[in-house]
């Protein structure tokens, strides 16, 4: 079955990034708040990330070909990694602007209007983030997962900035604005680091989550009643697609046809339990010393 195109979610993210960037830019121009400037800069990063997501989701949707027999799903990790790097760069830019404002305080202006504009931008980001998060969980997309978490962080960032600017309005302490901006920068670095870590794990062929592996183990153990064992279970993931390989051990007196039929049953069960997945099985006789020598991750002849 053909996977649905996820590029429509990237276009939604692009539209939201442009709208919120313009709104927050207006809020900064009205107030002069470096906190709101940091918020606007993060929206610029959102736009760059959304454009990268659009490109990589288009690549990931391509079917397998002669040069990419396992598909193009790993392209999603490049998008997530690039977005994580952009987030860290934005955080450094925010920190520099905040440090300058700490040394050169400036009164804030027209706070009421600026804060209202920023609230509208935050609500827009929240709505889009929830849509992307739901789509990421449904389609198991690393790209949409990264984009949704980034937007949710942007919402919390805006909330923090609003608190800072509001505190300046109440107390008159101008130092609160750049201090909140520095806190925002630290929060963005943490988010960017987490996204980078997840993307590296995908590129390094990390195993499927523990919950998926538990499903596989329980499924395979059900065949023990039929005298069928297994070992050398290995898993990985490329974007939304899973890959599973396992050695299946059957009684040595089974015919080739019996063994083949059992493998077909097991592969069909795995495909139903964890779609989308590519399953590779290897048939071995129980009790054969050679069969037991390859159950470790690396076989040494």
* pLDDT tens figures, 268-283: 999 999 988 999 999 9
Per-residue pLDDT reduced to its tens digit, 45-79: 778 778 888 888 888 878 888 888 778 778 888 87
* pLDDT value, residue 219: 95
Alpha helices in the chain (DSSP H): 7-31, 34-60, 75-103, 111-139, 142-171, 176-203, 210-221, 256-273, 289-292
Q: Point out which residues pair with 246 in neighbouring strands.
A: 281
Q: Set out the domains of the chain in order of their start, with CATH numbers.
A: 7-203 (1.20.1510.10), 210-292 (3.30.70.1350)
Please determine, for residue 114, whether its predicted confidence score (pLDDT) is greater than 90. Answer: no
Angle of helix 142-171 versus helix 34-60 axis, rounded to 10: 170
Q: Point out which residues pair with 280 in neighbouring strands.
A: 245
In terms of pLDDT, which residue wins out, 24 or 11?
11
Proportion of the chain above pLDDT 70, given as a percent: 89
- Residue 6, classed as helix, strand or coil, is coil
Contact of 147 with 174, CB cutoff 8 Å:
no
- CA-only gyration radius of the chain, Å: 25
* pLDDT value, residue 283: 93
Please determine, for residue 8, whether its predicted confidence score (pLDDT) is greater than 80. Answer: yes
* pLDDT value, residue 188: 76
Which tokens in the block code for residue 254?
A: 């089974």
In terms of pLDDT, which residue wins out, 259 or 187?
259
What's the DSSP call for residue 240?
A: T
Tell me, letter by letter, the H, E, C secondary structure of 42-107.
Answer: HHHHHHHHHHHHHHHHHHHCCCCCCCCCCCCCCHHHHHHHHHHHHHHHHHHHHHHHHHHHHHCCCC
Per-residue pLDDT reduced to its tens digit, 15-39: 988 888 888 777 777 777 666 676 6
List phi, psi (to 5°) of 207. -65, 160
Whole-Å CA distances, 126 to 71, 160, 189, 257, 297:
33, 15, 20, 56, 44
Per-residue pLDDT reduced to its tens digit, 142-172: 788 888 877 877 777 777 777 777 777 778 7
The pTM score is 0.64
* pLDDT value, residue 24: 77
* pLDDT value, residue 1: 40
* pLDDT value, residue 266: 96
- Of the pLDDT bands very low, low, confident and very high (cuts 50, 70, 90), residue 178 is confident
* pLDDT value, residue 262: 96
List phi, psi (to 5°) of 5. -70, 135
* pLDDT value, residue 64: 81
Which tokens in the block code for residue 230?
A: 């297994």
């Amino acid at each position: 079955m053909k996977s649905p195109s996820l590029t429509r979610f990237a276009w939604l993210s692009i539209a939201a990034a442009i709208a919120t960037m313009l709104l927050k830019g207006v809020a900064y121009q009205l107030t002069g708040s470096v906190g709101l400037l940091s918020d606007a800069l993060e929206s610029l990063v959102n736009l760059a990330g959304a454009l990268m997501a659009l490109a990589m989701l288009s690549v990931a949707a391509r079917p397998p070909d002669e040069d990419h027999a396992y598909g193009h799903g790993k392209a999603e990790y490049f998008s997530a990694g690039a977005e994580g790097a952009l987030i860290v760069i934005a955080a450094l830019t925010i920190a520099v602007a905040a440090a300058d404002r700490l040394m050169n305080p400036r009164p804030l202006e027209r706070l009421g209007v600026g804060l209202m504009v920023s609230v509208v931008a935050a609500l827009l980001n929240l709505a889009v983030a929830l849509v992307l998060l739901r789509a990421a969980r449904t389609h198991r997309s690393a790209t949409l997962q990264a984009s949704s978490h980034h937007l949710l962080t942007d919402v919390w960032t805006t909330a923090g900035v609003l608190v800072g600017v509001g505190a300046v309005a109440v107390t008159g302490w101008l130092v609160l604005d750049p201090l909140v901006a520095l806190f925002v920068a630290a929060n963005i670095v943490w988010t960017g680091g987490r996204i980078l870590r997840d993307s590296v794990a995908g590129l390094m062929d990390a195993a499927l989550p523990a919950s998926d592996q538990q499903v596989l183990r329980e499924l395979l153990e059900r065949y023990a009643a039929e005298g069928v064992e297994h070992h050398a279970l290995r898993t990985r993931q490329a974007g939304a697609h899973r890959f599973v390989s396992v050695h299946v051990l059957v009684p040595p007196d089974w015919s080739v046809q019996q063994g083949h039929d059992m493998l077909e049953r097991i592969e069909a069960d795995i495909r139903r339990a964890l779609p989308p997945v590519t399953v590779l099985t290897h048939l071995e006789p129980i009790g054969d010393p050679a069969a037991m020598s390859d159950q470790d991750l690396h076989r040494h002849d």
